[in-house]
Amino acid sequence: MKIVILDAAMTTTGDLSWDPITSLGECTIYPVSEQEDVVARLVDADVAVVNKVALTKDILILLPKLKLIVETATGYDNIDCAAAQERGIAVANVPAYSTESVAQMVFAHILHATSKVAEHSASVSAGEWQNSESPCYWKSPLTELAGKTMGIIGFGNIGNAVARIAHAFGMTVLVNSRSARKSSVPVLFTDRETVLCMADFLVLAVALKPETRHLINRDSIDLMKRSAMLINTGRGPLVDESALAEALVANRIAGAGIDVLEQEPPRNGSPLIGLKNCSVTPHIAWATVESRTRLIAVSAENIAAFQAGIEKNRIV
């Protein structure tokens, strides 16, 4: 079986091994692939392993030998699944591999804003503690999470994990979800407006769909507390960046922690980058070593299952 990994650098730049996949067949690994290279690289492949490379209908038509597409991610909007199904090409993804890592990043942004570790570490490095007349000082107010309200929109695996951590911090958890799903900790399911109005910290853990695009906009921000903080580790287009930037500049809300943007990389810039009350990280919530190790392992399991005639994590 011929396996081609089209954009390996999206998963590892050398710190992890692809051995779980290369052991399954004749494997060719490309760190990156431009769209114009895809057909030539996959023309003899049985299995395509992709992350961000688009496999459109026009491309799939030219790949008569292709039998399986493995998406090294949970989302698969880069694959034309309908076209794959028409041509009898199976598609599998990797669900829930990064749940704990993404939830961790949610609180990394929250603690960055509330405990001000980076700000005070920089102050100490600049000599301010050595020159202080007091044995301790704070550059800006510090905030305790216990007793605060965590609002979560969307309650899949990541929403559940965020709720569990918030509960451990002693926070009240409000959730807006299409259905009241089982939770391992006490949460209150309520309408979206209530979550927006009551949350001290608002976390977006909902899938990107036409109805959730710009879920956070001027109208929704107007419902939020002035002291509230928005966290988006989901998808960039869930947030109207211009509306959020205007609110942050005007101190309409206190802050934001953003791991995803509407355009990635932000070639044309983003109004959120550089704002003093907005921390932006480069879409790395999923990218812990442990998470990426699971990603490769489950991708290999998907291929091995296909070889054995077993459906595993199949979309098509």
Is 98:291 a contact under the CB 8 Å cutoff?
yes
Which of these ranges, 124-138, 172-186, 276-290, 301-315, has the smallest mean pLDDT? Answer: 172-186
pLDDT reported for residue 180: 76
Q: What distance in Å separates the CA atoms of residue 27 and residue 170, rounded to the nearest whole number?
A: 49
Average pLDDT, the chain: 97
The answer, yes or no, to whether residue 58 has pLDDT greater than 90, is yes
DSSP classification of residue 119? H
> Distance between CA 173 and CA 185 in Å, rounded?
9
For CA atoms 215, 218, 222, 228, the dihedral sign is positive
The answer to whether the beta carbons of residues 253 and 83 sit under 8 Å apart is no
112 catalytic? Reply is: no
CATH of domain 99-280: 3.40.50.720
Peptide bond into 265 cis (omega under 30): yes
**Which pair of structure tokens corresponds to residue 209?**
């769909």
Please give the angle made by the CA atoms of 158, 103 and 209, to the nearest 5 degrees.
40
Give the Cα separation of 297 and 24 in Å (integer).
Answer: 12
Answer whether 49's CB lies under 8 Å from 21's CB: yes
User: CA–CA separation, 3 vs 24, rounded Å?
Assistant: 8
CB 230 within 8 A of CB 244: yes
The CA distance from 259 to 282, in Å, is: 6
Confidence of residue 307 (pLDDT cuts 50, 70, 90): very high
Specify which residues 151 forms β-bridges with. 174, 202
- pLDDT over threshold 90, residue 239: yes
Which residue is it, tokens 């895809």?
38
Quick one: average pLDDT of 25-52? 97
Q: Which two tokens stand for residue 114?
A: 């509330």
How many residues are there in the chain? 316
Domain extents in the chain: 2-97+289-307, 99-280
- For residues 230-259, average pLDDT: 98
On whether the 2-97+289-307 domain is CATH 3.40.50.720, my answer is yes
Q: What letter represents residue 262's amino acid? A: E
Tell me the pLDDT band of 142, cut-offs 50, 70 and 90. Answer: very high
**CA–CA separation, 89 and 91 (whole Å):** 7
In 3-state terms the chain splits into helix, strand, coil percentages (rounded to 5) of 35, 15, 50
Q: Which of 109, 120, 235, 292 is labelled catalytic?
A: 235
- Percent share of the chain, pLDDT over 70: 100
Instruction: Check residue 70 and give its pLDDT.
Output: 98
Question: Can you tell me the mean pLDDT for 233-238?
Answer: 96
pLDDT category at 181 given cuts 50, 70, 90 is: confident
Confidence category of residue 211, pLDDT binned at 50, 70, 90: very high
Structure tokens at 181: 């799903």
Query: For the segment 44-56, what is each residue's pLDDT rounded down to a tens digit?
Result: 999 999 999 999 9
- On whether the CB atoms of residues 194 and 174 are closer than 8 A, the answer is yes
Q: Is the dihedral of CA 281, 223, 165, 188 positive or negative?
A: negative
The span from the first CA to the last CA of the chain, in angstroms, equals 20
Closest by CA to 5, choosing from 24, 39, 33, is 33
At 209, phi and psi to the nearest 5? -135, 170
Give the Cα separation of 88 and 174 in Å (integer): 43
**Is 283 marked active-site?**
yes
Identified catalytic residue from 192, 214, 283, 314: 283
Q: Do domains 2-97+289-307 and 99-280 have the same CATH topology?
A: yes
Say whether pLDDT at 179 is over 90.
Answer: no
Q: Which residue is listed with tokens 């199904």? A: 85
